[in-house]
Structure 1
Amino acid sequence: MEIVGKGFLARHLRAIAHRHADVVALAAGVSWAADTSDTAFGRETALVRDTAVRCRETGRTLLFFSTSSAAVYGADRPGRESDPAVPHTPYGDHKLALERLLRESGTAHLVLRLSHVVGPGQPPHQLLPSLTRLVRAGGPVRVQRGATRDLIGVRDAVTLIDALLSRGERGGTVNLASGHAVPVGDIVDHLERRIGVAARREYIAGGAAHLVSVERLRALLPGQVAALGFDAGYHRRVIDSFLAERQPA
């Protein structure tokens, strides 16, 4: 596997790179919904287009990472890959445009719509590192009353990516998530218990309660998904692992 990118996900993909010589994993580009500049979007669009051309010319598969967030699916229904996607933000619109670019490019590809991936080496602006930092400081932690997030451990995500590529999955779109919409307040609760700090909170209105469907993922990889234990307590185990591996603040 050729890995384009040097960030969080790219580093973890190195563990399976030797197993997929015919794949180019595009683990670079806009990975943060707050980065909505035309410059950032244009840079990623050019990167996807150029990489798709290169993959088509060399007969390789392009592995593209999109998003399974409410930015793509909205918050009024479970997000299923087969349902029409209606972007609710510039970030969601941008990711869906890149998916269309790939489908129309004639390049062999696989689109994985990621939920909130958690693990060692995460950028500090992402959800769990940010909440951990705020809880350790005693707050204030701002919590949107209606917000939920689907957490998946990065090593579990890589395990599933490896399995999808090994079974020859190509040409489609798959949600890569745990399938559990966890209220952000519950994530803060667990961080407080593990860190031993009761942080001051500020509850504010807003936030989307969004559920990612993993029906397709379970159908494709029933044994692997079952082994990872995606139950209602899965997010707590992901948080525990993150805290155990993270350097003390």
Structure 2
Amino acid sequence: MRIIGDGFLARNLAEEFGDRFPGVTALACGVSSTSTAAPAEYDREAQVLYDALDTCARQGRQLLFFSTASFSMYGFTDGGEGAAESDPVRPPNTYGRHKLALESVVRSFGVEYLVLRLSHAVGGHQRPHQLLPTLVRQIRAGEVTVHQGAHRDLLDVRDLLHAVGRLLGDGVSGEVLNVASGVPQPVESIVTAIERRLGVTARRLERPGSPAVTRVSLERLRRFVPDFRATPDEKYLDALLDAYLPYYTALSRA
């Protein structure tokens, strides 16, 4: 696999796949924060994508592109099965509109492709500005900001890598697929679980808000990856924190 990028996703892909899938180019260097507002960062990601597509077209390679299955793409969803890839979308912010536009470029370019819309992937090699490292850092400092009603669908990067390996191994192409845990976690619960493991209680700066949940459908993904982790139970968050909290704690000391 040829991997463009050196951040969280890129490093996990490199460790997992190495020389496997030599005909695939994975674009893992895009804008990583939904709050990014700098046009230059969006322009840079677009140009890298255009260049990668040109190379894939010349060399007959498949492009693996990572988009978003977060609020930025789907907004806040009602209950039920969640938002499907074929549902009409009206991305509510610049980040989501940017990702949707790049998806369109990928689909129209004429190369083999696989677009994966990710929720909030977590694991080793995360950057300090991402959600869990930020919460750990704030909690250890004694004060954490919590937006009431906010939820995040946390996806273990190991589950993502399993799905990528299965999809590419089976030659899946020309698809746009949600990859998520399927169960958005209340941020208040995430904070409490971190505090319990660290043995501290931080002062919470609560910001008012209404229930804010983005739930996506995994039905289409499971057609291709039947052994993708079933809808997680309440132990999914515990498993994530048990696996990665030591890394996040060390990162907060850096």
Asked whether the two chains share a fold, i.e. TM above 0.5, the reply is: yes
Q: TM-score, normalised by structure 2?
A: 0.92
Structure 2 stretches of 5 or more lacking a match? Answer: none
**CA deviation profile, 1:12-69 (whole Å, cap 9, x unmatched):** 1012132201100000121111212111111111111111111011111000000100
Instruction: Report what 1:8 is aligned to.
Output: 8
Instruction: Report what 2:90 is aligned to.
Output: 86
Distance 1:156 1:223 in 2: 10
Q: Are 2:240 and 1:235 aligned?
A: no
Distance 1:156 1:169 in 2: 17
- 1:246 deviates by 4.2
Which residue of the other structure, out of 103, 116, 122, is the alignment partner of 1:112?
116
Q: Is the 8 A contact 1:152 1:235 kept in 2?
A: no
- 1:203 deviates by 1.5
- 1:245 deviates by 3.7
Q: 1:213 to 1:224 in 2, by over 3 A?
A: closer
Percent identical across equivalent pairs?
A: 46
Secondary structure class of the residue paired with 2:52: helix
Equivalent AA in structure 1 for residue 65 of structure 2: F
Q: 1:168 to 1:231 in 2, by over 3 A?
A: farther
Instruction: Report what 1:178 is aligned to.
Output: 181
Which residue of the other structure, out of 193, 216, 222, is the alignment partner of 1:218?
222
**CA deviation profile, 1:65-123 (whole Å, cap 9, x unmatched):** 00100110010332211111210000000000000011111111100011111112210
Distance 1:11 1:91 in 2: 23
Q: Is the 8 A contact 2:70 2:214 kept in 1?
A: yes
Secondary structure class of the residue paired with 2:65: strand
Q: Are 2:106 and 1:137 aligned?
A: no
Distance 1:224 1:79 in 2: 18
Q: Is the 8 A contact 2:151 2:213 kept in 1?
A: yes
Q: Is the 8 A contact 1:150 1:212 kept in 2?
A: no
Q: TM-score, normalised by structure 1?
A: 0.94
Aligned length: 246
Aligned-pair RMSD on alpha carbons? Answer: 1.5
Distance 1:215 1:236 in 2: 25
Distance 1:145 1:11 in 2: 33
Distance 1:16 1:131 in 2: 30
Secondary structure class of the residue paired with 1:210: coil
Distance 1:62 1:247 in 2: 35
- 1:233 deviates by 2.2
**CA deviation profile, 1:153-197 (whole Å, cap 9, x unmatched):** 122211211111111111111111100011100100100111111
Equivalent runs, 1:143-162 vs 2, <5 Å: 143-162=146-165
Secondary structure class of the residue paired with 1:72: helix
Distance 1:224 1:87 in 2: 27
Equivalent AA in structure 2 for residue 92 of structure 1: G
Distance 2:93 2:228 in 1: 33
Distance 1:13 1:70 in 2: 25
Q: Are 2:166 and 1:163 aligned?
A: yes
Secondary structure class of the residue paired with 2:36: coil
Distance 2:214 2:169 in 1: 30
Q: Is the 8 A contact 2:159 2:229 kept in 1?
A: no
Distance 2:43 2:228 in 1: 37
